[in-house]
Amino acid sequence: MFDLQSVDLVDAFTKQLTLCKLTPGEHVVILSEPTSRPDYVAATFGAARALGAHVVAATVPAGSPSPTPSTHTGAGPGLVAVLEDTVTQSLLRNADLVVDLTREGFIHAPLQQTILDSGTRILFVCDAPEVLTRNMPAETDKADVLVAVERVRAARTMTVTSPHGTDLTVDLENCHPGFQTGFADDPGRWDHWPSKMCLIWPEITNGTIVLAPGDILLPFKEFVRSEVTLTVVAGHIESVTGGADAALLEMYMADSQDKWARYTSHMGWGLMRTADWFATEMYSKHEIMGMDARAHAGNFLWSTGPHPFLGRDSYAHLDIAMRSCTVALDGTPVVVDGALVD
């Protein structure tokens, strides 16, 4: 049987690797596990070869130490086979570009930073083909996110409000502003295709967050059905009240037995105008990580659990994407009622 799906994806992966500034003679490592999409491995291989790169496709055994099922959650530390294998680690550190096609990536593993420190750039890819092609980044996207980052750096306070009662104040001192732009073009850069967002890692957050029906809970990949009120004091979630969804969140944090589960992690807003909020409803949970929700233009995305700048090592990681919020920096809105301010 002919593998025409891989052929159909080569053009998209060639565009992506071009955005990653892959040049002839560079070394690309395609990292996969047995359950990775074989069409992505083949398309990456073909695209890298077409651009004149040296290519190695490395498939390592599956298995993550995270207690959460590996269904593209964005919460796990990566594969044990890589975390415990110095030979594989050396291969990744010596590559110019790693295309990570594993189910979870190494987003929350210290190992990833070690690889990046060697100058390797890493592109993580795991969403469905239609999600990738619909959200193909453009080179100009980087300028957009850098403008957002500079606005954060120039501000002292971020506020988030909503018609439902959200009233959150975020101290921007030492918030380590960053971004995702959907391609990895600089040495030592990690990025995620697809994505386009500004994000920060604040130390102090206070106020009330009210989740409304239609907001999205990740990694559950479920829409909020009933209002949830969370009270945050100095970055700690003091209480979670409401109906069934509140009970779910409370149970998740309690069952994790993780001391950081009730602390806020990164937060920010989405800039990806091609994102489809309803993709979460249209795909099976194993097909997507939920980047349409995470990077949706004008959303407010906030998370719980890990905080690398405060030494909080945690797998109890929730990403919660909210619509209808107003996000302001020192009183100047960047998002109004869920719409980006141009």
b/e for 138-160, b at 16 or more Cβ within 10 A? Answer: eeebbebbeebbebbeebeebbb
CA gap 135, 192 in Å, rounded: 11
At 287-301, the pLDDT tens digits run 999 999 999 999 999
> What confidence tens digit (pLDDT) does each residue in 110-165 have?
899 999 999 999 999 999 999 999 999 999 999 999 999 999 999 999 999 999 99
* Predicted pLDDT at 62: 86
Rg (CA), the chain: 19
pLDDT reading at 29 higher than 80: yes
Helix H or strand E encompassing 130: helix 129-134
Domains and CATH numbers, the chain: 4-126 (3.40.50.2300), 141-185+194-340 (no CATH)
Mean pLDDT of the chain: 94
Confidence of residue 74 (pLDDT cuts 50, 70, 90): low
Which pLDDT does position 316 carry in this prediction?
87
pLDDT at 2 over 60: no
Q: What is the pLDDT of residue 1?
A: 52
How many beta carbons lie within 10 A of that of residue 342, not counting itself?
3
- pLDDT of res. 109: 81
Q: What is the mean pLDDT of residues 34-46?
A: 95
| pLDDT 10s digits, 320-334 | 999 999 999 999 999
pLDDT of 153-210, one tens digit each?
A: 999 999 999 999 999 999 999 999 999 999 999 999 999 999 999 999 999 999 999 9
pLDDT of residue 79: 83
Q: Which pLDDT value is given to residue 69?
A: 60
- Alpha-carbon distance 178 to 197, whole Å? 9
